[in-house]
């Protein structure tokens, strides 16, 4: 029961938000705000929010030797991750972007195998396989996929973004064991903001704020607060109590949510392939989770 509230519920909320975020972010870029400008805005606001929470509730200091590790986490988990994702989603479709993100759990397992020496057992392998097959069925059955140059560019950037996020999950895990999650995410976002400011400040200065409708403001706020501050907070809380592989496997939920959102807005339809894919994806979550618990018992 403890794992339900400390790990699985936060991870489910995170990936529900991320699944919706594909369509929401796409709706305001690049018409109202360019990707790199959006990164400065969402990271800057999140730094402020995390600072307030940390100052009044945590107020924990970091050892000097760990700042370099936090700098790497900021580079891969904030700046490169978010920049590549937003630029990529500008060119590709929301569902396609969500599907590509499912490469993350596989990358996490490979990285943890070679960096952290964290072994994976048969159940984890079965879980990854189920999720991968489910995702492949979704990709083959998706109408959104096209062979255009821009789509290939966007897909490539989203895939590199998945690689960066996988590296971040592995690098940040030891820091989560040592510090409070809010302390870690505060410093990663602070360093991430320093990375993002030089590349995004010019585009941010060009934003025509007076053209924003209430709907656009809602979309921007949901991305900045919901899909940034809240999801990083919940993701890091879960990562403190779960392996990087378990955190990564929940990304398989994102294509399902992205598909539901698209169907709701009349941009897609349900099919037998999508139902089968959903079953396989959630089976993957189940097997990886039980594989992680089995290792703990051993």
Count the neighbouring beta carbons within 10 Å of the beta carbon of residue 297. 5
R_g of the chain, CA atoms, integer Å: 19
pLDDT (mean) for 21-41: 84
d(CA 285, CA 298): 20
Cα dihedral across residues 182, 111, 77, 291: positive or negative: negative
C-alpha 238/C-alpha 5 separation (Å) is 9
Per residue in 139-172, pLDDT (tens digit) is 555 444 444 445 667 777 888 888 888 888 888 8
pLDDT band at 68 (very low <50, low <70, confident <90, very high): very high
Higher per-residue confidence, 178 vs 169: 178
Nearest 10 degrees: CA dihedral of 45, 16, 125, 246?
Answer: 50
Chain centre distance of CA 164: 10
Q: Residue 234 corresponds to which tokens in the numbers above?
A: 């919940």
What is the rounded CA–CA span in Å between residue 54 and residue 57?
A: 5
Residue 166, CA atoms < 13 Å, CB-side half-sphere: 25
pLDDT digits (tens, 9 = 90+) for 240-266: 776 666 666 676 677 777 777 766 766
The predicted model gives 95-104 an average pLDDT of 68
Q: How far apart are CA 143 and CA 37, in angstroms?
A: 31
Mean pLDDT value across residues 194-220: 90
The whole-angstrom separation of Cα 259 and Cα 109 is: 26
Q: What are phi and psi of 92, to 5 degrees?
A: -105, -175
Give dist(CA 37, CA 263) in Å, integer. Answer: 29
Which pTM was predicted? 0.73
Are the C-beta atoms of 60 and 187 separated by less than 8 Å?
no
Q: What's the half-sphere exposure (Cβ side, CA atoms, 13 Å) at 229?
A: 19
Specify the length of the chain in residues: 298
pLDDT of residue 146: 44
pLDDT of residue 116: 57
Q: Give the ranges where 92-121 is alpha helix by DSSP (H).
A: 94-100, 103-111
What single string gives the DSSP state of each residue in 227-296? Answer: IIIIHHHHHHHHHHHS-HHHHHHGGGHHHHHHHHHHHHTTS----HHHHHHHHHHHHHHHHHHHHHHHHH
């Amino acid at each position: 029961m403890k794992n339900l509230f400390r790990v699985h519920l936060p991870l489910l909320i995170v990936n529900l938000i991320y699944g919706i975020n594909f369509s929401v972010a796409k709706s305001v870029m690049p018409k109202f705000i360019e990707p790199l400008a959006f990164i400065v805005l969402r990271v800057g606001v999140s730094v402020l929010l995390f600072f307030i929470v940390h100052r009044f509730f945590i107020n924990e200091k970091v050892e000097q030797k760990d700042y370099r590790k936090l700098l790497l986490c900021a580079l891969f988990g904030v700046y490169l991750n978010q920049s590549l994702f937003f630029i990529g989603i500008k060119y590709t479709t929301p569902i396609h972007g969500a599907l590509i993100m499912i490469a993350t759990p596989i990358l996490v397992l490979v990285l943890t195998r070679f960096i952290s020496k964290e072994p994976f057992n048969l159940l984890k392998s079965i879980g990854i396989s189920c999720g991968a097959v489910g995702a492949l069925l979704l990709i083959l059955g998706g109408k959104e996929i096209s062979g255009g140059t821009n789509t290939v560019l966007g897909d490539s950037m989203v895939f590199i973004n998945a690689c960066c996020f996988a590296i971040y999950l592995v690098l940040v895990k030891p820091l989560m064991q040592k510090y409070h999650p809010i302390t870690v995410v505060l410093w990663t976002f602070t360093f991430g903001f320093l990375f993002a400011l030089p590349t995004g400040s010019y585009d941010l200065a060009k934003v025509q704020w007076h053209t924003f409708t209430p709907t656009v403001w809602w979309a921007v706020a949901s991305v900045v607060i919901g899909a940034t501050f809240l999801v990083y907070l919940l993701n890091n809380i879960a990562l403190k109590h779960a392996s990087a592989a378990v955190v990564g496997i929940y990304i398989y939920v994102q294509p399902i949510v992205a598909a539901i959102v698209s169907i709701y807005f009349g941009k897609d339809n349900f099919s037998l392939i999508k139902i089968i894919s959903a079953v396989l994806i959630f089976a993957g979550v189940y097997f990886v989770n039980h594989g992680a618990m089995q290792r703990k018992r051993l």
